[in-house]
Each structure stands twice: as C-alpha cells, then as structure tokens.
A and B are shown apart, each in its own frame.
Chain A
Amino acid sequence: MEIAELSVLLVWASATALTIALAAFAIDLGRRTEARVEARAGARTPAAVAAGAGGAGRVAGGSASASPAAGPDVPDVPSSARRRAAGIAMSTTWLGTALLLAAIVLRGVAAGRTPWANMYEFTLVGSFVALVVFLVLNLRRDLKFLGAFVIGLTVLFLVLGVNVFYVAATGVQPALQNYWLVIHVGVAITATGIFTVSFVTSVLQLLRDSRDTGGTSLQRPGFRWLDGLPTPKTLEGLSFRLNAVAFVLWTFTIIGGAIWAEDAWGRYWGWDPKEVWSFVIWVIYAAYLHARTTRGWDGRRAAWFVVVGYACVLFNFTGVNLIFNGLHSYAGIETEL
C-alpha cells in the first residue's frame, strides 16, 4: 500500500474513533443533566450546598457560578456510569487525535513537504488543532460538555475533507515553496481550530442563556441537557479567552500573509478575495472585542459576533476558495462555477 493511501485510511480510522467518542460524550451530557436535576433536588439540604460550593467554584477557573448545581462537578449520583462514559469519550478522543496526527504526518511524507498546502490538508490539520485545544483545555479543567460538539464538528470536517476536498498528495508550485507556507498557513489553521472551539462555546452560551431567560422553544425537555452546562457568563469568559488567543494568531496570519505576498506577488496587500475575507473576519472579531466592553452589547450580543465571525471563517475557507478566482486559488480543486 502506498503511504498516501495509508494516510487516508488513518483519517477514516480517526473519524471512526471520534464517532465513538461523540456518542460517549452525548451520553455523558445526558447523565450530567440527570446528575444536575438530582443535585437540584438535594441542594435544599445544607450539606449539599456546602459540597457543591466547594466544587463548582473551581470549575471554570474562579469565575464560575455561585449556584452549586450549575457547575459540572456537582456531586453526581449516577457517577460511575457517567464517569465510564466520560472516560471512554476522552480516551477515544485521544486515540482519534493520535490517529489523525499519524495521518497528517504520513500525508506530509507522501507529498514530501509540509502537509498543509491545500483544502484537504487544511481540513485535517484544522480538525486536529480543534481536537488538541479541546484535549489540552480538559487537562486543566473539566470542559467535557464541549466534547460532543467539538467532536461532532471535527467528524463532519473529516468526512467532508475526504469526500469533497481530497486531492492526491504531491509537491507544490513555486509560489508556495516558502517557509511562509509553514508559518502563515500553520498559524491560520491553528487560529481556525481555536475559533472552532470558541464558536461551540458561544453557541452553547446563547442556547443556555435562551433557556434560562425563558425562550419558549428551548423549554422543551429535549433541551434539558442545557441545564447541565456552566452558566452563560462562564461560557462567555471561556469563549473570550479562546477568541483572544485566536484573534492574536489571526492578526499574525494576516501580517505573515502580507509579508509573504510582498515576496511572492509583488505587493503586500491587493484586496484579493482571500485577503478581503481575512480582513472581514479580523474586523468582525475586533468588533466582538469592542462589543464585549460596550455597555449594552456584551453578553448575548457579543456572542452573536462570534457566530457571525466563525461563519465567515468557514466561508473564507470554503466559499472563497471555490467561488472566487483569486491568487489564493491553491485549493487544488478544479471548479467550474
């Protein structure tokens, strides 16, 4: 078997492991809710309050909820079942991530260069970064509730990647033979991976907030799992910290891209479609940072900026490559639109 084929096989293996993780995270999320409901019932006794306050406060690093039951570390009754699901979820996620890493490395070996030069490879590495961010965050504190969603997105990306974006592994054209390929594109993918996790966090913030404030459609029992999440405020804070890191990386992506463009295309900025959309994304996240500090625009409204910003990130990655005909058309996919 050729190395390139082995790499694809590993992507499928990774997607399979992650699908199992996805199921386990979903179960964990359901159990978390049961735990919460029972804790809520138990919270009327002073002992439960004391126990809860000790755990809940530490969860999201100091700014967590005062309501004991809202934290993920509630004293859970079906704890062993829940822990088993969570344990399976985390270990299969590690496994899937490791398999994906192997797939990426082999892809690089097969192509004889850095494995992030076209859409297919970008999809693999971006998913990998999102997974790593999720796993690393979980080393520090319990953010397993993000798992179902982050993993869900990455599985979707991987399947799309292999089925839609796949191109054969090969070298790259002269314009791409540059260490900036490693830096600029590498940082862009990292930022995208982090934006993915913060997007998930902000969406959960919006959902949880809607349920709390009585949005009718979210009152149905199907959304009871939302009660198991941290407070919207905690989610907001987590999303912000991720966005702050990703925004700095994105700023660097744009600067690095401009430096590279200056060498490769003879100008540092030319409003090429990719440049336009990178700029739009940057401005939206800058607006997000301003919204957070603007009275009346923080909280829910700020979270919407993250949703819009991430939609633009996805569009920049897919739509701009496929629809517009710019200098950046390195997707490796022939399009007739």
Chain B
Amino acid sequence: MSERTGYRPEGINDAFTEGRTGSEADAGADGTAGVTGSTTGPSSGRPELPALGWKGTLRWTWRQLTSMRVALMLLMLLAVAAVPGSVLPQRNQDPAAVLEYLGDHPTLGEWLDRLGFFDVYSSAWFSAIYLLLFVSLVGCIIPRAAAHARALRHRPPRTPARFGRFPATASTTTDASPHEVAEAVEAHLRGPLRRLPTFRVDTGSEEPRLGRPATRTVAAERGYLRETGNLVFHLALVGLLVSVALGQLLHYRGQAIVTEGRGFANAVVDYDTFENGAWFRPSSLSPFSMTLDSFTSEFASDTVAFAQARDFTAAVTVTEPGGGTHEETIKVNHPLVVDGAKIYLQGNGFAPDITVRDAEGEVAFGGRVPFLPEDTMYTSRGVVKVPDVSPGLDQVGLIGYFLPTAVVEADGSARSVFPQPQNPLLVLEVYRGDLGLDEGVPQNVYRLDTANLTASVDEDGATAKLLVRPGETVELPDGLGTVTLGEEVPRYVALDLRHDPSLGWVLGFSLAALTGLAVSLFTPRRRVWVRTWETVDDDGTTRTRVELAGLARGDDAGLQQEVDKALAAVPGTTDAPAADRTTTTTED
C-alpha cells in the first residue's frame, strides 16, 4: 500500500502523503496519522553515497539535481545572481553608461566585464543557474506528473482504525440507521455535481473489531486539483522559458525617425537602426508603409505640474501590402498593430526646415533636420552638415539648439521656457573646414566633431551665435553664405517597430502559470472519514453512533468546518441532546 504514496522529489516534507502511509499501515491505530517525519517510501531519507562506478554516480547526481533541497539552493542563487544587473549598468540597456563605468574604473571594470557583469542576464553563470533550475524542474515534475496521473485513478485511503488523534474530529448519535447515515454523508460529500464531485467517496463496511460491532464507513478525499495546479504551474514555467527563447530567436525591431508629411516602408533599409534574432528572415517583414500625417502634443500649464507631458498623438495613414489605406493614431501606451508588428511612439521633437546657401548663392543644403530634445522644455540639439557645392569653398557645419518657446536674456543667452512652439528660435554656431563628408564614411548625423574645424567668432573673439526665427534668412559670418529657417516647424516622431511572434505564447503560459499557482495554493486537500454503528443507550433504546475525522494537507484553517459540515449532514440528529454533538480540535 505504501507504494501509493507515489513520486516525491527527494527531500520533500509532506505531512499529507506521509500521513497517508502512516494511517494506512496499521501503525495508524495508535495514532501516528498526520505526524511528520516518519520515513517511509523509497524516495525519502538522505541519499546514500554510491560506491558503484560512473552509472551510480550519474544516478546520484541526477537524484541530487532533482531534489527539493537543490531546487531551493538554485532558487536562492537565482535571486542573488539577478541583483548585480540592477546595480551595474547593463550593455543592452545603456551601453554609454557601461563605457563610462569602464573609463572610471579601468581595472575593476575590466574584470567585471570579463566575468559578464555588464551582461548579467545573458552571462554564462546566470544562464547556468536558471538552466540547471529548469533541468531540475523537469526532472522533478515529469515523474510527479506521471505519479499524479496514476493517483487520479486512486480511491480515497481506507478508513483508519482510530480517529482519536486526527486534527479535526466530531461525533454524534442519531436515530437514523448506520446505512442511512453513510448514504446521507456520502451524498453530501459528493456534492450536487455528478460529473464533478467535491469529494471522491467510498463507502464500506467493517467486521466487528477493537471492541466495536460491525460498522459502516465512508472514506472521502478532495483536492486532486491541487497537485494538478502545481504541475500546470511548473510546466507552464517551462513553456514560458521556451517561448521567450523562441521570441529572442525570431524577433526583429527597427527604429525610424519620420517627420510630418513623410513616411517609411517596413523594409530593413528604411530603418535608421535594425536588429534581429538569429532565426529571423527578411521575408517576415510585412511590406506595408506608413505616412505621418500630423503629430500633436499637450503639456500641463498649471503651476504644480508646469510643462509636464500630458498627451502625445501621432496621426498616421497606413498602406497595407494589398494597397488599401486606413488612418490610425499611435499614442504612448497605444501602439499600432499592423500585420502582427507593433509600432510604438518612442519619442518626438522638432525638425526645423533649414536651407543653407553658400557664398555663391547656390543651395548647399536644404531639408528638415531632426533636433533631439535634451530637457523637459524641449531645448533640442541638432547639427547641419553642409557639403561644398560650389568649387573651392569650405564645408560648413552648424551646431545649435532649437528652442520652441525662446526667451533671450539681456546678456544674449537664450533658453526655452515651454515645450510647445510658441516662440521658436534657432541658435546656431558656425564651423568651417573639412567635415569629412567626401570620404564616404558613414557619420553620426547628430554629432559634429569640431576638433579640426574653425569656429566663426564675433568681435570679442567668442564663438559667434546666430539667432534665426521662422521665415528669416540670416547671413552666416565670415561671408560663408546665408541660412534660412522655414516658416513652419515640422515635428518628427521616433517610431519603434517590433515583431515578436512568441508574444501570444508568452502571455498564454504566464496566465497558465498564474492559474495553476492559484489552484495549487488555494485548493484544500482534505480527507474525511466517517464510521457509524449501532449502540444501545443507557435507557435501552437502539441508537446510531457516528464518528468523523478529518485530515488536511499542511495547515488548513477550514478543515474543522469541513468536518462540521459533514456532521451536519447526518440525518435524524435534531432531537439528539446537544451535549452529544461534539466537535473537537487537537494539535496534530
């Protein structure tokens, strides 16, 4: 019978299953039921060191790995190992911060880098911990699932010989016959649903024994779902890990900056940056295109939250691969989904329309230049690189700030005081020399290396600052030409497009894990036994004695209520003296 205990991971402490063996063996008669620590079954007790060869060593290693103690250690290790990633800068989040750290701490930084501390979550040691944990989990859960599948066909454990020491007991006397009592209690425990009984119930009879006459017994067990939930939970974790990994392999993501009235197509070449997983195929890019019709923003103007962002909305027109078009909006928190790809509004700013004419009057540069916001007032920084169009002239570089609502102080310095374009102003410094535009080397469009360039200066020798307002044309110093700012200041949005085919699976497994967890933690696992027989009262009438006992897995606040409810189902007790109905609770 003790084989029915089923599979348990090494080292698990489970009063319930141990209680079962305890009460089924007739040792239960002296009341050891529910007492923990009895070592029964093949899988309990300390593992013995094998003295035999590599096979034995392997088996021993496996048993260790799938033991509860090792799972516990690995979980603790996992918690500890995750911490450094929140303390040290991580490459995939903030590569610049990692470089800065390496610069500040050359020796320590190099060692940390070698040990993977700047890529904690993809480091060998972090991966080793969670992979071992999952190996352990599979090794522990698969046999458990098999054991549970067998257990699902089991009957409730036999009624123990004595009820005395059970954590919850009750007794009464009634006028109904033992047979009626057994049937009534059985019906109550089964519950109203035929197909989905609350308890699995067996009724039986016993020969006279231990000074009792022949009895009727009811043995009932509920809570098989608990183990089911536990298994679903653990298996869902495995599913979650696998689907996250698949997503890593199949995903792609690209960023593009789009100004009002312009668009982009979903193709690798159209993105400013593009990144993809190892199993990605360009054919999985759905060939749609999109135009930014307009972008609007709202900011608080009350004093408490002055200039805090309140809303960003991009109005776009999507052209489907088939040719159909439709208008959509993208907001923060509300990505646009096109063909399974999600398009996020990741940033926004101003892209002033700038035209530069050289000394000869030729248009050397014309176009929208995205300026990157640097503070909450949208003080935005940008660079214009002007090539040498007319022969013999220098290349010109303009660096400067775009101020949406500019205030110019008495000393000539300017700053922005509100993020909306209420009084736009462009403040530019002018450099000339060889910008390296002819070398064909790709350059960062947002940076200008001024080391080898000559700055234009004013009379005092300070770097000259040009102030340009929308619609104005201003002379560049040193006769370099003119710069014109367009009347309208177009806005731009930074879009982030992401496609991850595993999302649905990740969500599904997460919810399965959550459900399994809740079921396994909140399903009570209880056994209730009833024994009932005929007795003769002091006054000579024949009555029926009923005794009930309950056992729960672990600590269960509702066990006594469960026994009490079964007691209440006993028929014919209404006229029984109150003192006869007793319920008691004892420790262990």
Q: Do A and B come from one complex?
A: yes
Assess A276 versus B332: contact at CB under 8 Å? Given A61-B558, A171-B308, A287-B79: no
- A157–B483 CA distance with the chains assembled, in angstroms: 59
Cβ of B170 to closest chain A Cβ, rounded Å: 12
Give A contacts to B, CB under 8 Å. Answer: 57-58, 60-67, 168-171, 173-175, 177-178, 233, 236-237, 240-241, 244, 247-248, 251-252, 255, 258-259, 262-273, 276-277, 279-280, 283-284, 286-287, 290-298, 320, 324
Cβ of B288 within 8 Å of any chain A Cβ, yes or no, is: no
Known: A63-B557, A267-B498. A277 touches B86 (CB 8 A): yes
CA distance A251 to B240 in the complex (A): 14
What residue in chain B is nearest A324 (Cβ atoms)? B86
Q: List 10 A-B contacts (CB under 8 A).
A: A57-B585, A61-B560, A62-B557, A169-B304, A248-B517, A251-B517, A266-B496, A284-B76, A293-B14, A294-B69
Query: Is the CB–CB distance between B514 and A263 below 8 Å?
Result: no
Question: Which residues of A are found within 8 Å of B300, using beta-carbon distances?
Answer: 170-171
Decide: A283 and B82 in contact? CB cutoff 8 A: yes
Question: B146 contacts the other chain (Cβ, under 8 Å)?
Answer: no
What is the bound-complex CA distance between A283 and B78, given in angstroms? 7
CB-based contact A262/B503 at 8 Å: yes
- What's the nearest-Cβ distance from chain A to residue B7, in Å? 14
Given contacts A61-B557, A63-B587, A244-B521, list 4 more A-B pairs with CB under 8 A: A174-B312, A255-B511, A287-B76, A295-B37
Question: How many residues of B are in contact with the other chain, CB < 8 A?
Answer: 69
User: A263 CA to B14 CA in the complex, in Å?
Assistant: 42
- A255 lies within 8 A of B514 (CB): yes
Q: Is B570 interfacial (CB 8 A cutoff)?
A: no
> Which of A169, A177, A276, A294 counts the most chain B CB atoms within 10 A?
A294
Measured between beta carbons, the chain A residues less than 8 angstroms from B514 are 248, 251-252, 255
Q: Which of B323-367 contact A (CB under 8 A)?
A: 331-335, 342, 344, 346
Interface centre among A241, A273, A293 (most CB of B within 10 A): A293
Question: Taking CB as reference atom, which chain A residue is nearest B588?
Answer: A66
Bound CA span A108–B514, Å: 31
Asked whether B379 is an interface residue with its Cβ less than 8 Å from the other chain, the reply is: no
Shortest Cβ gap from A267 to chain B (Å): 7
Taking CB atoms and an 8 Å cut-off, the chain B residues in 483-540 that contact chain A are 496, 498, 503, 506-507, 510-511, 513-514, 517-518, 521-522
Q: Is the CB of A263 within 8 A of B334?
A: yes
Set of chain B residues within 8 Å of A276, measured between Cβ atoms: 82-83, 85-86
Partner of A237, one of B87, B335, B511, B555: B555
A residues in contact with B131, CB < 8 Å: none
On chain A, the residues within 8 Å of B554 by CB distance are: 240, 292
For residue A263, which residues in chain B have a CB less than 8 angstroms away from its CB?
Answer: 333-335
The distance in angstroms between the C-alpha atoms of A233 and B588, with both chains bound, is 11
Residues of A within 8 A of B556 (CB): 62-63
CB of B305 within 8 A of chain A?
Answer: yes
How distant is the Cα of A219 from the Cα of B28 in the complex, in angstroms?
38
Write out the residue numbers on chain B whose beta carbons fall within 8 Å of the beta carbon of A241: 555, 557
Which residues from B are CB-within-8-Å of A248? 514, 517-518, 521-522
Q: Distance in Å from the Cβ of B241 to the closest Cβ of chain A?
A: 12
Q: Which of A63, A170, A178 contacts B305 (CB 8 A)?
A: A170
Q: Does B107 contact A (CB under 8 A)?
A: no
Specify which of A233, A255, A270, A287 lies most central, judged by the most chain B CB atoms within 10 Å of its CB: A287
**How far apart sit A283 and B71, CA to CA, in the bound complex (Å)?**
12
Residue of A nearest to B306 (CB): A170
Supposing A170-B308, A266-B346 touch, asked if A60 and B72 sit within 8 A by C-beta, the answer is: no
Distance of B305 from chain A, by nearest CB (Å):
4
Residues of B within 8 A of A279 (CB): 82
Please report whether the interface of chain B is mostly helix, strand, loop or mixed according to DSSP: mixed
- Give the shortest distance, in Å, between B344 (CB) and chain A (any CB): 4
> Once bound together, how far apart are the Cα atoms of A293 and B553, in whole Å?
11
Q: What does the 1/0 interface line of B296-320 toward A look like (CB < 8 Å)?
A: 0000101011001111100000000
- B167 contacts which chain A residues (CB < 8 A)? 62-63
Q: Could you say which residues of chain A place their CB within 8 Å of the CB of B83?
A: 276, 280
- A237 CA to B517 CA in the complex, in Å? 18
- Give the chain B neighbours of A65 by CB distance below 8 A: 587
- In the bound complex, residues from chain B placing their C-beta under 8 Å from that of A247 are 517, 521
* Chain A: minimal CB distance from B66 (Å): 13
Tell me, yes or no, whether B278 is within 8 Å of chain A by CB.
Answer: no
**Complex: A247 Cα to B244 Cα, angstroms:** 22
Q: Does B585 contact A240, Cβ atoms closer than 8 Å? A: no
Nearest Cβ on chain A to B21's Cβ, whole angstroms:
15
Do residues B555 and A57 form an inter-chain contact, with CB atoms below 8 A? no
Which residues of B lie under 8 Å from residue A283 when comparing CB positions? 75-76, 78-79, 82
Looking at the assembled complex, report how far the CB atom of B2 sits from the nearest CB atom of chain A, in whole angstroms: 18
Q: Please, which residue of chain B has its CB at the minimum distance from the CB of A290? A: B72
Q: Mark B550-566, 1 if CB is under 8 A from A, else 0.
A: 00001111111000000
Which of chain B's residues have a CB closer than 8 A to the CB of A244? Answer: 521-522
With the chains together, A35 CA to B583 CA distance in Å? 26
A273 to B84, CA, bound (A): 10
Whether A293 contacts B13 by the Cβ 8 Å rule is yes
A39 to chain B, nearest CB (A): 17
Closest chain-A Cβ to B95's Cβ sits at a distance in Å of: 14
B172 at the interface (CB under 8 A from A): no
Residues 396-422 of chain B, each 1 if its beta carbon lies under 8 Å from chain A, else 0: 000000000000000000000000000
A80 vs B335: C-alpha distance when bound (angstroms): 64
CB proximity of B528 to chain A, nearest CB, Å: 13
**B79 adjacent to A266 (CB under 8 Å):** no
- Return chain A residues, CB-CB under 8 Å to B311: 174, 177
In the complex, whether B6 has a CB less than 8 A from a CB of chain A is no
| Closest chain B residue, CB of each to CB of A316 | B86
Give the chain A neighbours of B310 by CB distance below 8 A. Answer: 171, 173-174
**B271: which A residues are within 8 A, CB to CB?**
none
| A290: B residues at CB distance < 8 A | 68, 71-72, 75
Which residues 47-91 in B have Cβ within 8 Å of A in the complex? 68-69, 71-72, 75-76, 78-79, 82-83, 85-87, 90
A294 touches B557 (CB 8 A): no
Bound CA–CA A247/B520 (angstroms): 12
In angstroms, Cα B489 to Cα A123, docked, is 44
- Shortest CB-to-CB span from A42 to chain B, Å, is 20
